[in-house]
Amino acid sequence: MAKARGYAVLTPKAELVPFEFDRRALRPGDVEISITHAGICHSDIHQGREEWGQALFPMVPGHEIVGRVASVGASVSKFSPGQLVGVGVFIDSCRKCENCLAGLQQYCSEGMTGTYNTMERDGKSVAYGGYSNLIVVDENYVVNVPESLDIQGVAPLMCAGITLYSPLRHWETGPGKRVGIIGLGGLGHMGVKFAHAMGAHVTVFSHSDRKKPDALAMGADEFVANPSEEYFKKNGNSFDLILNTVSVDVNLELYLSLLRLNGTLVLIGLPGKPYQVPAGVLLNKRRRLAGSMIGGIPELQEMLNFCGEKQITSDVEVIEPSYINNAWERTVASDVKYRFVIDTTKF
Ligand code: NAP
Ligand code: ZN
Ligand code: ZN
């Protein structure tokens, strides 16, 4: 067993405080990782504040993890000490259902085992996440990070990155496709970078005009702040794919009306309340309303390789652990460019 240091939410909605805990002794297939950076995802806040229902406390959040292998178990074959690696939103799954076998572990029939806020598959230990200096994970749920990438901007790829990369690939984004990204936050800004790199025409929808220069610099072709009724009328039936990354409710009917025949609006942001959508806007032009959740291990590796090739990382603000509570507040206020990343070597 190894002693780990980190930050935890001790009771629902409480502020995060320093927290010490044990990581399990290495099993034969385990990799022990000295974490260097952990991203702050809005999902950490939703869970720490029980916005998605009952959660498990104490909670060490964090599922955007990057670091170096410190040691490996006896049967580990893919990793060796010193290697740069990442861990994302899940650390295990059943490994035998058709989705796991297809490399879509995030859709495991038994449910994936999250990186935190869940019991591990032994049913006894609580999974603690990446707001810490150390983690132990089975090698099958660890990915290799290209050394050519700027390490500070890598951690957010493990959730924000893959969550946008996966639907862009699934709905075959490429040259000639018109893609909309609603919300330029941690997830949204990765969507802009990926859709641009894949050759699509990219429009960002944002709830203020503050982020326009950044969006254009990231590769957006158009930026629309608070689209007007007029905009929706004029641009109806013109988008192939729209990805909604907003953490609060948006008017889906209006955005659905922007889709052309067979176009798809993908829900990615996860506000607490259900949406209401009139059937008419879906029937018309055979539009689809879909959802997408992170990505599986093979796709995570594919995305990291793509990032290595295209030199894509997240735009980050690196913080010390003592700033985590302020960072959560600023994330809720959309005051982050574009992901907070904790320097976990300072725990
Ligand atoms: P984030 O960095 O806080 O970004 C959310 C963006 O939503 C903001 O930057 C802002 O963009 C927009 N927004 C925020 N408050 C708003 C308001 N009051 N009115 C209108 N727009 C507002 O969050 P994130 O980490 O990217 O996560 C976004 C959502 O995705 C969260 O709900 C998170 O839980 C969820 N998520 C889903 C998955 C998945 O697998 N599907 C994975 C990770 C996260 P603008 O300023 O540009 O308007
Ligand atoms: Zn996340
Ligand atoms: Zn499974």
Between CA 58 and CA 332 the distance in angstroms is 22
Q: Is the CB of 164 under 6 A from ligand 1?
A: no
Ligand 1 atom nearest to 106, measured from its CA = 40
Q: Tokens 């599986």 — which residue? A: 296
Q: Is the CB of 313 under 6 A from ligand 1?
A: no
Domain residue extents for the chain: 2-158+315-346, 160-291
Q: Is the CB of 159 under 6 A from ligand 1?
A: yes
Q: Is the CB of 211 under 6 A from ligand 1?
A: yes
The Å distance, Cα 105 to ligand 3 centre, comes to: 6
Ligand 1 atom nearest to 268, measured from its CA = 41
Per-residue pLDDT tens digits of the chain, which is 347 residues long: 899 999 999 999 999 999 999 999 999 999 999 999 999 999 999 999 999 999 999 999 999 999 999 999 999 999 999 999 999 999 999 999 999 999 999 999 999 999 999 999 999 999 999 999 999 999 999 999 999 999 999 999 999 999 999 999 999 999 999 999 999 999 999 999 999 999 999 999 999 999 999 999 999 999 999 999 999 999 999 999 999 999 899 999 999 999 999 999 999 998 878 999 999 999 999 999 999 999 999 999 999 999 999 999 999 999 999 999 999 999 999 999 999 999 999 99
The Å distance, Cα 96 to ligand 3 centre, comes to: 5
Cβ neighbors of 330 (< 8 A, separation 6 or more) are 336, 340
Ligand number with the minimum distance to the CA of 38: 2
Ligand number with the minimum distance to the CA of 61: 2
Ligand number with the minimum distance to the CA of 249: 1
The neighbouring-strand residues paired with 314 are none
- The topology (CATH level 3) of 160-291 is Rossmann fold (3.40.50)
Q: Is the CB of 63 under 6 A from ligand 1?
A: no
Helix 160-170 and helix 186-197: axis angle, to 10°?
40
Domain 2-158+315-346 is in which class? alpha beta
Where in the chain does DSSP place strands (E)? 2-9, 16-23, 30-39, 65-72, 84-87, 90-92, 113-114, 134-138, 143-144, 178-182, 201-206, 222-225, 239-244, 259-267, 288-291, 316-319, 339-343
Give phi and psi for 57, each to the nearest 5.
Answer: -125, 150
Determine the 3-state secondary structure of 57 from DSSP.
Answer: coil
Determine the 3-state secondary structure of 343 from DSSP.
Answer: strand
Reported residue count of the chain is 347
